[in-house]
Amino acid sequence: MTTAPLPPFPAGFRWGVSTSAYQIEGGADADGRGPSIWDTFAHTPGRIVDGSTGDVACDHYHRHAEDVALMAGLGVSAYRFSISWPRVQPGGGGPANPAGLDFYERLVDDLLATGIDPVATLFHWDLPQPLEDAGGWLHRDTAGRFAEYADLVAARLGDRVKLWITLNEPFIHMSLGHGTGVHAPGRFLLFDAFPVAHHQLLAHGLAVAALRARSSSPVAIANNYSPVVPRGDTDADRAAGLAYDALHNRLFTDPLLGLGYPPGIAPAGVRDGDLDVIAAPLDVLGVNYYNPTGIRAAEEDSPLPFELVPLEGHPRTAFDWPVVPDGLRDLLTGLKERYGDALPPIQVTESGCAYDDAPDAEGRVHDPERIAYLDGHLRAVREAIDAGVDVTGYFVWSLLDNWEWAEGFTKRFGLVHVDFATGARTPKSSYAWYRDLVTRR
Ligand code: PNW
C-alpha cells in the first residue's frame, strides 16, 4: 500500500467492528434457545447456496472469550453485536429465558472489562419462529411483542449497553425477506410487503420508549442506504431512479425523521398516532453502506417500475458489488441536505467487503483489497465530516468471516479469517492495518 496516511478524525470518534447473532453464534439449541425464521429458512433445501445453516456458524456462543480477546488486540473502542430474540424469548413472548440473557450479560461484562463499548442491536432479522407462525411482520401485534422483548433486555443490560440499535436494515428485511423471498421468511409479496415496513417502524418507535424507560443510553436504528445512479436519460429512467430512491433510501428514514411516508408510498394499516410513535427522537442514525445502485426504467411487462443495472467501471468484490467509496461521501452529505437539522449524529454501523481470502503456505491471510476498500471508505467519511456532516463513528463489517445469509459460508467479510471446519481464527493483514489505524488515534 502506497497511499498517504488517513487524515485525522475528530476526538472521541468511535472505532468499531460489527457482527450479528445468527451469523456468528451457532449454539442453535443451547440453553433453551428457540428457532428463528432463519433456522427454518436455512434448513429448507434450496434456500442457501451451499446448503449450509447457522447451527454452528463461528461457534461464537462457545468462543466469545477468544473473540473479545481478538477485539482487545484490535484496539477498537466499540463492538456492535446483535441479541438473538429467540434466545431471550424462545416463544416470541412471555417471560425471559434467563440463560439467554446470561450469555449477553457475560459478553457485555467481558467487553466493559476490556474497555470496549457494547453496542447492541435488538433485531438483526432472526424473528422467533412462533411469531412468524402468527403472521410475523405482516401482523401489527409483532410490533408490541418487540417492545416487550426490548423491555426485558433493557431491564437486564440497560445500565451497561452504551448504544442501543433497535432494528438492523428494515428495508433489506422487508425487500429480500418479504418482497422477493431471497432471505427468511422467504415470502414473495413484491409491493404487498409494505405492511412489513410499517410494523417494523412501529416496533422501533415502541421499543425506543421501552428502552428510554429502563436505560439512559442513546438509541439508534441502523438503516441500509444505496445512493441511486440513474442509468439511461429518458424521463422514464429518471422517474424510475426517483421511485427506487424513495423505496430504498426514504421509506424508513422520512417517517423516522418526522416527514411521514414518501408521497406515493402509503403502507396499508397506518393508524392515527402511528407516525408520532415512529418519529420518536433518535440519538444516532446508524448508516450501513455497501454500494450505490444503478437504476433505469423497467420493461413494459415487469412487475416493478424500475430495473437494477450493474454499475460498470468500478472494481468489484467477491459479491460482485461495485467498490464506490465516493458513494458513501455522497450518501452522508445527501442525508444532511435532505434532513438538515432533523438529522441526528451519524455512525456508520456497517462498511466492508467480501473477498475470497485464504491462508497462504505459511498460514497467513493477505487481503490488500479489503485494506484499500476500508481506506477509501474512511477517506469518504472524512470528506463528509469536512463538508459539515456530524459522523461520530465507523464500524467495519465484520470482525469475523461468518455465515452470510443466503450465501452461506461462501462470502468472507472478516478482518479475521475463520476456518469453518475447525473454527480456527486467523487475523488477516487488514486486521493489522485496522489495529494500526485505531491505536494511532
Ligand atoms: C447487511 N443488498 O446485509 C447485513 O446487515 C449483514 O448482516 C450482512 O452480512 C452484510 O450487510 C453483508 O451482506 C445486506 O442486497 C444484505 O443490497 C443484502 C444487501 C445489503 C445488505
pLDDT at residue number 135 = 98
User: Does 168 sit in the ligand 1 pocket, CB within 6 Å?
Assistant: yes
> Looking up cell 445512493, which residue turns up?
227
Instruction: Dump pLDDT digits (tens) for 273-289.
Output: 999 999 999 999 999 99
Check if the beta carbon of residue 151 is closer than 8 Å to that of residue 210. Answer: yes
Q: Left, alpha or beta for 395 (phi > 0: left; psi -120 to 50: alpha)?
A: beta
331 C-alpha vs ligand 1 centroid, how far in Å?
17
Which is catalytic among the residues 169, 307, 362, 407? Answer: 169
User: With 0-12 CB in 10 A as exposed, 13-18 as middle and 19+ as buried, what is 377?
Assistant: buried
pLDDT at residue number 175 = 98
pLDDT at residue number 89 = 98
User: With 0-12 CB in 10 A as exposed, 13-18 as middle and 19+ as buried, what is 160?
Assistant: middle
405 C-alpha vs ligand 1 centroid, how far in Å?
8
pLDDT at residue number 336 = 98
CATH class (in words) of the domain with range 14-440: alpha beta
pLDDT at residue number 50 = 98
On the question of pLDDT at 45 being above 70, the answer is yes
Q: Considering only CA atoms, which of 346, 381, 83 is closest in space to residue 220?
A: 346
Q: Cα separation of 182 and 169, whole Å?
A: 15
**405: annotated binding-site residue?**
yes
In terms of residues, how long is the chain?
441
Instruction: Dump pLDDT digits (tens) for 185-199.
Output: 999 999 999 999 999
On the question of pLDDT at 2 being above 70, the answer is no
**38: annotated binding-site residue?**
no
Active site residue 362: no
pLDDT at residue number 136 = 98
Q: Left, alpha or beta for 35 (phi > 0: left; psi -120 to 50: alpha)?
A: beta
Which is catalytic among the residues 148, 300, 307, 350? Answer: 350
Instruction: Dump pLDDT digits (tens) for 119-166.
Output: 999 999 999 999 999 999 999 999 999 999 999 999 999 999 999 999
**290: annotated binding-site residue?**
yes
How many other C-beta atoms lie within 10 A of the C-beta of residue 301? 5
275 C-alpha vs ligand 1 centroid, how far in Å?
27
Protein residue with least CA distance to atom 7, ligand 1 = 20
352 C-alpha vs ligand 1 centroid, how far in Å?
10
Give the ligand 1 atom nearest the CA of 169: 5
| Mean per-residue pLDDT, 377-406 | 98
**Alpha helix stretches (DSSP H) within 18-169:** 21-24, 37-42, 60-74, 85-88, 98-113, 129-133, 141-157
98 C-alpha vs ligand 1 centroid, how far in Å?
30
- In this prediction, residue 377 has a pLDDT band, given cuts at 50, 70 and 90, of very high
> Looking up cell 455512525, which residue turns up?
347
Check if the beta carbon of residue 415 is closer than 8 Å to that of residue 17. Answer: yes
- The mean pLDDT value of the chain amounts to 97
**89: annotated binding-site residue?**
no
User: Does 404 sit in the ligand 1 pocket, CB within 6 Å?
Assistant: yes
Q: Cα separation of 122 and 109, whole Å?
A: 18
User: With 0-12 CB in 10 A as exposed, 13-18 as middle and 19+ as buried, what is 341?
Assistant: exposed
- Which residue type occupies 410? T
Active site residue 25: no
Enter the C-alpha cell of residue 134: 402468527
Domain ranges of the chain: 14-440
Check if the beta carbon of residue 75 is closer than 8 Å to that of residue 438. Answer: yes
pLDDT at residue number 386 = 97
| Mean per-residue pLDDT, 415-420 | 98
Instruction: Dump pLDDT digits (tens) for 230-270.
Output: 999 999 999 999 999 999 999 999 999 999 999 989 888 99
| Predicted TM-score (pTM) above 0.95 | yes
Protein residue with least CA distance to atom 18, ligand 1 = 172
User: With 0-12 CB in 10 A as exposed, 13-18 as middle and 19+ as buried, what is 318?
Assistant: middle
Instruction: Dump pLDDT digits (tens) for 297-352.
Output: 999 898 888 999 999 999 999 999 999 999 999 999 999 999 999 999 999 999 99
Output phi, psi for 320, to 5 deg.
70, 20
User: Does 137 sit in the ligand 1 pocket, CB within 6 Å?
Assistant: no
DSSP 303-314: SSSEEEEPPPSS
DSSP 244-291: HHIIIIITTHHHHTTS-SPTT---TT--TTHHHHHTPPPSEEEEEE--
> Looking up cell 445469509, which residue turns up?
405
pLDDT at residue number 264 = 87
